[in-house]
Structure 1
Amino acid sequence: MIIRRLAAEDRLATSFPLQAYAFEASPLAASRVAEFRDYLPYNAGNRTLVADEDGTAVAAASAIPMRQNLRGAVLPMAGIAGVATHPLARRRGHVRALLHQLLDEMRDEGHPLTALYPFRASFYERFGYVGLPRARTATFSPADLGPLLRAELPGEVVWERVGAGYPTWRAFTERCLHERHGFAVFPDFRAVGLRDRDDRWLLTAVVDGSTVGAVTYRIDDHGGELIADDLLATDPYARALLLQFFARHVDQLERIRVQLPADELPELWLTDLAVHVEARVSRPGSPAPMARLLSLDALTGLPTGAGRVRVDLVGDRWLAGSHLLDGATGRLELRPGDSAGGGVPAATLTAAGLSALAYGVLDPAEVDIRDLGDVPADAAAELRRIFPRQVPYLFADF
């Protein structure tokens, strides 16, 4: 087996067909194959590796150079996508070899974070990834939003095709990137696909000339459903402005379906709102995202509580050794573990265990329970101060 990096045009005959077989209806219609070339610009800056056997590409994996917010710090993140293997070459270690090299290269180029949507979560947990919350879907009738039509709200909404409003949308997602833990954005070459497809409406909430909320959506049919993507709002007023607009569709639509962060509580928006909230995770069709640290550089300087603990990192290709985590100054400092001295609590963590704490998705006791580390009670108390629970919102869907 030989691993090589693809040039852009090579994707048409190698990685694209492998990915299409893995993730689309099959066999492909000739018209669908002809569309592959249209996708090349949106893959221009990706790093795509393939595994060759006897001159034939049998597996592929790509990394998208993205950015993600980790506890307030915006850092380069490698979004792993398009991991696929030829059906006759599966379960022979090709994906493992590709991921090792791909993550090696992305880490060496300065990406301390990585995230993906797994085909099997347990497979990627062995690579140090840990699960993140899946976005919720809320479904309700526009009639139940009626009280908002009488509400006097500050600001106004702007309604336009997403192709025309794309600069506003992109600027607002950049704002969210800097304000929301876990939020991630595509690079420009990939993000403009939304503009170019122009198959959504864009609704924005504006207060005093500043965009404070946005959502893209489409309508499937008269008497049908308004299908909204992620509803992004900086505060309840911005959210209410967007929902007030949806309420005006009461005589047009039966229901509204909108995607929300895991910590949003739509059942509390209005008194008589009958809402179905769902976060469906299934394998292989609807996985929850996963993420991990590729470098401890991601932790240095993060805002933190005044904890102090030694962590011994084990069983990982990229994170290893003994380190003192010190939050005494309010910003996390990392020093060699042997500088801790006596009496400092200590924990043993896998990469998935440390990533779970950094992303705020597991309590130290849960890390211990799930065998992602050995965390004594005194070390758990310090780790809770350093990494308080925080719900990440992995906005970018790749």
Structure 2
Amino acid sequence: MSADERLTTSFPLAAYAFESSPLGAARIEEFRDYLPYNQGNRTLIVEEDGRTLAAGSAIPMRQNLRGTVLPMAGVAGVASHPLARRQGHVRTVLHQLLDEMRDEGHPLTALYPFRPSFYARFGYTSLPKPRTVTFTPADLGPLLRRELPGEVGWERIGTGYPAWRAFTERCLGQRHGFSVFPDYRDVGLRDRDERWLLTARVDGEITGVVTYRIDEHGGTLAADDLLVADPLARALLLQFFARHVDQVQRVTVQVPPDELPELWLTDLDVHVEARAARPGSSAPMARLLSLDALTGLPAGPGRVRVELTGDRWLAGSHLLDGTTGALELVPGAASGRAPTATLTAAGLSALAYGVLDPAELPWRGWGEVPVDAAAELRSIFPRRVPYLFADF
């Protein structure tokens, strides 16, 4: 679809699937405002007699996989007409969409599913959700009595966007699973200018950022993702929140899946939640689209032969060798003394992203992994906690 064609095809279909319905005239008028932020997306539709039956888009993003930043296709807006559901149209769109993105050099893909089991059949594995942390600013009082080295900057995101974007790029290079939108999509945050931007600086260098808004006096200071390089940056940002003790009743903030807010301060009364439910709040999912994504990744000293089965994009026999510290893949190589595991795409993706142990895969129906092969895979792919970050 070209830009303007989205106005009458994919946009209305996605709005019906994921928004309140029917749409008012004002909401329909807003569709045109979204076009600049979709200009580089790949959007496909299934059409019959001029009626859109299904649609889906891919956003050309980047993601960190175990320290290597790779092109990633962020799948979004997958929807079907209510009278055309369960007829295979979404499957057709996804196959074509992922074919094209893979051929154009995107070895990874991620999405937020309307039903995880549906996308598991396409080889996707679930990733952990960020945590939502809720506390009262009064409980942060001890931080107000501390002289912390560094300073905090405060401005609207419309003016501070370059600093925010630069820090997310820094996180992209350092954090497993982290992903960022292309520039044309991300600038929507700047253009809407609906958030305050808070930055922590130490010796003039930005070490933490968070955007937020306040809903009302006596209400909630709702912060987005807390991105910090170290505990000092986190303390500086929390100290700023503490100054709102007489303005808001509570603070909510999103944190990475491996963050431990209950340890931030002594006597901090904090609620930490990550709720996965359908529809509406499923955990993100991701998968490998090409084995090229694995070549050269940091790896432990394991050696195993994998037989990849049942997938459109990953298939065949491959020797995975991490004995040099950088993963090598040899297609169709003789196994020698290497043990063999049979994996689905979802199973291999779960190992690559570090979210499952090899011994779990048979229980999920994602492979046959003998004990000796599990030991090798466990060494090659140590458990990691990915943090997807971008919400599409």
- Compute the TM-score of the two structures, normalised by the length of structure 2: 0.99
Aligned position for 1:103? 98
Aligned position for 2:245? 250
Aligned position for 2:339? 345
Amino acid at match of 1:57: T
Checking the alignment, whether the CA contact within 8 Å between 1:204 and 1:215 is kept in structure 2 is: yes
Aligned position for 1:374? 368
- CA deviations 1:26-61 (Å, max 9, x no partner) are 111101111110000000000000001122211100
The within-5 A match list for 1:314-393 is 314-341=309-336, 343-393=337-387
Q: CA deviation at 1:210?
A: 1.1
Aligned position for 2:207? 212
1:116 lines up with 2:111 in the alignment: yes
Q: Give the ranges of 4+ consecutive aligned residues of structure 1 lying more than 6 Å apart after TM superposition.
A: none
Q: CA deviation at 1:253?
A: 0.9
Q: CA deviation at 1:152?
A: 2.1
Q: CA deviation at 1:364?
A: 0.4
Which residue among 14, 18, 35 is the counterpart of 1:40? 35
Amino acid at match of 1:299: L
Checking the alignment, whether the CA contact within 8 Å between 1:295 and 1:319 is kept in structure 2 is: yes
- Compute the TM-score of the two structures, normalised by the length of structure 1: 0.98
Aligned position for 2:57? 62
Amino acid at match of 1:129: Y
Amino acid at match of 1:155: G
Aligned position for 2:198? 203
Write the distance in 2 (CA, Å) between the matches of 1:171 and 1:368.
42
Structure 1 SS opposite 2:286: strand
Q: CA deviation at 1:368?
A: 2.1
Write the distance in 2 (CA, Å) between the matches of 1:62 and 1:130.
19
Aligned position for 1:3? none
Q: Which stretches in structure 1 are left out of the alignment for 5+ residues?
A: 1-5
Q: CA RMSD in A?
A: 0.7
Aligned position for 1:302? 297
1:16 lines up with 2:11 in the alignment: yes
Structure 1 SS opposite 2:90: helix
Q: CA deviation at 1:212?
A: 0.6
Amino acid at match of 2:358: P
Write the distance in 2 (CA, Å) between the matches of 1:209 and 1:31.
44
Amino acid at match of 2:146: A
The within-5 A match list for 1:141-220 is 141-220=136-215
Write the distance in 1 (CA, Å) between the matches of 2:344 and 2:203.
48
Write the distance in 2 (CA, Å) between the matches of 1:352 and 1:152.
49
Checking the alignment, whether the CA contact within 8 Å between 1:311 and 1:337 is kept in structure 2 is: no
Amino acid at match of 2:367: G
Checking the alignment, whether the CA contact within 8 Å between 1:145 and 1:273 is kept in structure 2 is: yes
Write the distance in 2 (CA, Å) between the matches of 1:307 and 1:154.
44
Which residue among 110, 114, 120 is the counterpart of 1:125? 120
Q: CA deviation at 1:337?
A: 3.5
Write the distance in 2 (CA, Å) between the matches of 1:145 and 1:247.
5
Write the distance in 2 (CA, Å) between the matches of 1:77 and 1:339.
31
Write the distance in 1 (CA, Å) between the matches of 2:12 and 2:189.
23
Structure 2 SS opposite 1:78: strand
Q: CA deviation at 1:370?
A: 1.2
- CA deviations 1:140-177 (Å, max 9, x no partner) are 00000011111222211100000000000000000000
Write the distance in 2 (CA, Å) between the matches of 1:16 and 1:348.
41
Write the distance in 1 (CA, Å) between the matches of 2:212 and 2:225.
9
Structure 2 SS opposite 1:301: coil
Aligned position for 1:79? 74
Write the distance in 2 (CA, Å) between the matches of 1:297 and 1:209.
39
Structure 2 SS opposite 1:88: coil
Aligned position for 1:395? 389
Amino acid at match of 1:234: A
Amino acid at match of 1:168: A
Checking the alignment, whether the CA contact within 8 Å between 1:135 and 1:261 is kept in structure 2 is: yes
